[in-house]
Amino acid sequence: METKVREVLPGIFLVHLPLPMRPTIVNVYLLRSGDEWALIDTGLNSPESHAAFDEALREAGCGRDGLRKIICTHHHPDHYGSSKAYAERTGATLYMHPAEVERAQTFVPTERPREVIDFFLTHGIPLHRFVHLPRQSDFWAGLYVTKPPDVLIGDGDRIELGERTIEVVWTPGHAPGHCVLYLRRERVMIVGDHLLPKITPHVGYMPGSVPDPLGDFLDSQRKVQEFDVELVLPAHGGIFADHRHRANQIIQHHQSRLQEMIDILRRQPRTAYDVARQAFGFDSDSPLTYQFPATFETLAHLEYLRHQGRVASDVSEEKTLYRLC
Ligand SMILES: [Zn+2]
Ligand SMILES: [Zn+2]
């Protein structure tokens, strides 16, 4: 693969690493201060990604001992999947939010617990139609080889890198411990998956979720709008400028989805899976890789409405039905 590394501002390098699915690229960032370097997010633990990363280090001029810090915005495979390999071979200190350490456990291969099966069934996912239900640990296996962070980070923390100060801003929603990184002097925000220029990040309610991930996500969009930012460095798509405008668009997108789901429930009470089929326009033959995230995303909206008192859920032995209040 053609190496893609670009110095977007002095000492701030954008690196494209390949992914075997959509989106097909994750942007990771190298920051330099003097002869110290930090890496923001890691890409996957694949030979292709490692080769591209090594080439990028060479092009940027970062020697093997230069990399001192690795900061992961969240636990997803494209952001944290290669943490073990890079931390071990460089001796860099690894930073991540504690809530992400917990969520990373969902990638550990275990038998699917009964609660998870019950969760799928009560929300109307027709499990009987799926002969083999792959676990996410089956799919990711060798691509996700991680190491627990050496340092747990939280909102307002400052990570020093030579002359630079990297401020941690906790932005839960896409993941419960998602953090963006703010360089105040440079007016740069490295936003992980929180604020993407072309696609809206997935926000799902799934087994083990916090009570209201969409509520958290919308609050986090408003939170980043309070910062003075000139350049936004996202994990997918091109770098962009107007973070407040993009955050407003994302908030608006979810407001429209919420309204759409209210309209669907106006006709009759439904399971989350039924609402998802209508809102996202799929049927039970559509790929599972679409049906599951769409149902989790729908649940995040329905649970948000429930916390707002606009929707209620009736739980019977068989199903959970959502209805308007
Ligand atoms: Zn993500
Ligand atoms: Zn991502």
Confidence label for 130 from pLDDT (cuts 50, 70 and 90): low
Query: Residue 324: which H helix or E strand, with range?
Result: strand 320-324
Q: How far apart are CA 123 and CA 323, in angstroms?
A: 13
- Supply 112's token pair: 């699917």
8 Å CB contact between 190 and 169: no
Judged by its nearest atom, the ligand closest to the C-alpha of residue 75 is 1
Measuring CA to CA, how many Å separate 170 from each of 54, 57, 70, 277, 305? 30, 28, 17, 32, 23
Is pLDDT at 161 greater than 90 in this prediction? yes
Q: Encoding tokens for residue 302?
A: 């329905």
pLDDT tens readout for residues 245-279: 999 999 999 999 999 999 999 999 999 999 999 99
H helices of 123-212, in order, are 136-140
Q: How far is the CA of 27 from the centre of ligand 1 (A)?
A: 12
Nearest to 286 by CA among 139, 278, 23: 278
The string of DSSP codes covering 77-139 is HHHHTTHHHHHHHH-PEEEE-HHHHHHGGGGS--PPPHHHHHHHHHTT--GGG-S----HHHH
Output the six-digit token pair for 28: 């990771």
What is the residue-wise DSSP string for 217-245? HHHHHHHHHTS--SEEEESSS--BS-HHH
Q: Give the predicted TM-score (pTM) of the model.
A: 0.95
- Ligand in nearest proximity to the CA of 175: 1
* Residue 141 phi, psi (nearest 5): 20, -105
Contacts of 105 (CB under 8 A, 6+ apart): none
Q: Which ligand is nearest to the CA of 235?
A: 2
From the CA of 74, the nearest ligand is 1
pLDDT (tens digit, 9 = 90+) per residue, 64-109?
Answer: 789 999 999 999 999 999 999 999 999 999 999 999 999 998 887 7
pLDDT in tens, 41-56: 999 999 999 999 999 9
Mean pLDDT, all residues of the chain:
94
Ligand 1 centroid–CA 314 distance in Å is 31
